[in-house]
Amino acid sequence: MKVYSDTKEIEFYTLKTLKTPNAGKNLARWLIGIFIVFLIMLFLPWQQNIRGNGKVTAFLPGNRPQTVESTIAGRITGWQVQEGMAVKKGDTILTISEIKDKYFDPNLLQRMGEQNSAKEQSIDAKLNKATALRQQIQALRKSMKVKIEQAQNKLVQTRYKLTSDSVDFESEKIRFSNFENQFERNKALYEAGNIALTKFQDIETKLQESRMKVVSAENKYLESQTELINAQVNIGGVEAEYHDKISKAQSDLNATLSNLYDAEASLSKLKNEYVNVQIRKDQYHITAPQAGFVVKVLQAGIGETIKEGEAVATILPKSTDVAVEMYINAMDVPLVAKGRKVRIEFDGWPSLQFSGWPSVSVGTFGGIVSVIDYVNSSPGKFRLLITPDPEDEAWPEQLRLGSGTKGWVMLDSVPLWYELWRQLNGFPASLYEQPEDVAVGKDGKVVKESDQKSTAK
C-alpha cells in the first residue's frame, strides 16, 4: 500500500509539471477569431455587378475620329499639315491636281460659259419666233372671222336676191299667162274678122316679148340659186382655207416650242456641267471638315495618285465629349438598364477596386449607362455607352480616345453569403429595382426624367 501511494504521487507530480504550449493556444484563438469574422462578413451587404472591358470614345458620332476623303481622283501636289498639328474647320490639308484629260483645259470654265451664252441666245431667238407664230395665228383667226362674216353677209344678200328674182319670175309667168289668154281671144276675133291684122300682130309681138321676159326672169332666178349655193360653199371654203393656214402656223409653233424645250434642256445640262466643273476645281484643295488634330496621314509622297473617296488623313475633332464603350456578355444584357451606375477604371490611373463595395474603392470614376445596343457587336458581346455621372467626380481631362478601360455595372445589394452561393452555382445576378429613366442630351450629358418634367413645367 505504501508503494502504490508513492507511485500515485509520482505520476501526479509529473502531470502537474506538463503545460500546454502557448503557440497552440494562440493558433486556436486566431482560427476562432477568423471564423467569427468570416461569419460576420457573410452577412455584410455585397453589391452585385457586371464586369466589362472597353475603351474611351466620344458619345456623339461627330466627335469621334474620322477620315478625310478625297471627293475626286487626283495627284498629290503638296501637303499643308503634319501629324499632330491642330487645324481649324476649312484649313487646307493637301492639294491635288487633275488627272482626267476631260478637265485639262485651263480655260474650260470660260469656254463652257461661252457655250451657255450661245445657247441662251438660241433660246431667245426661238422664243421670238414662237411669239411671232402666236401673233400670226391670232391674226389668221381674226382674218378668218372677218372673211366668214363677209361670206355670211354675201349669203344673206344672195338669199334676198333669190327671193326677189323668184318674185320677178312668178310675176313674169303671170304676165305671160295674161298675154297668152289675150292672144287667144284676139286670135279668135281676128279669125272672125272682128279686128285688124295689125292689132293682132301687135298683140302677138307683146306675147313673144312676155315669153322672153319669162325666160330671162327664170335665168336670173336660176343664177340666184347658183349664187346661193356658191355663197354657202364659199363659207366652208373660207373656213377650210384659214384652218389650213392656222394649222400650219400651229405646227410651226409646236416645232419651235419643241426645239425651244430641247435648247432649254441642253442649256440646263450645260449649266449643270459648268457648276460641276466649278465645284470640281474647288475640290483640288482638300480641307478639314471641322476643327481638330491631324492624327495620322494615310497617303505619302508628292505625285502619288489617289482615287475618288480614298482617305488621305485621320482627324480627331476638338471636343470634351467623352464616353466609355464597354462590352458585356450577352447573358448579362437583360440585367442592365439605362441609368444604371457604373464604376470605371481607366488605363494609366492607379486604382484599387472592390467591385462589391464601391464606397471603399479608390481611383475609379462614376458613370451612367446611356445606350444599350439592340444587336450584338461581336458574337456573345453587347456594347454599352457609358457617360460621366454628373453626381460623381469628373473624369480626367487627360483621357485619350482609344484608351483601355475596365468597368463594373452596379446592380442591387445582397448578403455576401448569397453572392458566394450564387457564384458557386453559376446563377444570374438578382434584379429587384429598376433605375430611374434617363435621357441623353445632344451634348452627351445625362438628363434625368425628373429634370425633364421640371423643365417642361
- Looking at the structure, tell me whether residues 275 and 352 fall in a common domain: no
Q: Are 286 and 96 in contact (CB under 8 A)?
A: yes
Judge if 241 and 154 occupy the same domain: yes
Kindly state whether residues 303 and 438 are assigned to the same domain: no
DSSP per-residue codes, 304-359 = -EE-TT-EEEEEEE-----EEEEEEEGGGGGG--TT-EEEEEETTS--B--TT-GG
Tens place of pLDDT for every residue, the chain, 457 residues?
444 445 455 555 555 555 556 676 777 778 888 878 777 766 666 666 778 899 999 888 888 888 899 888 889 998 888 888 999 998 999 999 888 888 888 888 888 889 989 999 999 999 999 999 999 999 988 988 888 888 888 888 888 888 887 888 788 888 888 878 877 877 777 777 777 778 778 877 887 887 888 888 888 888 888 888 888 888 888 888 888 888 999 999 999 999 989 999 998 998 999 898 888 888 889 999 888 889 888 887 788 888 888 888 999 888 888 899 999 988 888 888 888 888 888 887 776 555 555 554 567 888 999 999 988 888 889 999 999 988 888 888 888 888 889 888 877 666 666 666 666 766 566 654 445 455 555 555 555 554 555 444 4
Same domain, 250 and 329: no
CATH assignment at residue 397? 2.40.30.170
Looking at the fold, whether 84 and 31 belong to one and the same domain comes out as no
Residues spanned by the domain of 123: 108-282
Whole-angstrom distance, CA of residue 154 vs CA of residue 146: 12
Nearest alpha carbon to residue 299 among 289, 287, 285, 314: 314
Q: How many domains does the chain have?
A: 4
Same domain, yes or no: 182 and 231: yes
Look up the CATH number of the domain holding residue 71. 2.40.50.100
At residue 224, the 3 state secondary structure works out as: helix
Tell the residue number behind the cell numbers 501511494, with chain if given: 5
- Cα 95 from Cα 287, distance rounded (Å): 9
- Specify if 99 maps to a domain: no
Identify whether residues 294 and 422 lie together within a single domain. Answer: no
Q: Is 448 helix (H, G, I), strand (E, B) or coil?
A: strand
| 185 and 300 together in one domain | no
pLDDT at 11 (0 to 100): 53
Q: Are residues 190 and 209 in the same domain?
A: yes
Residues 180 and 295 in one domain: no
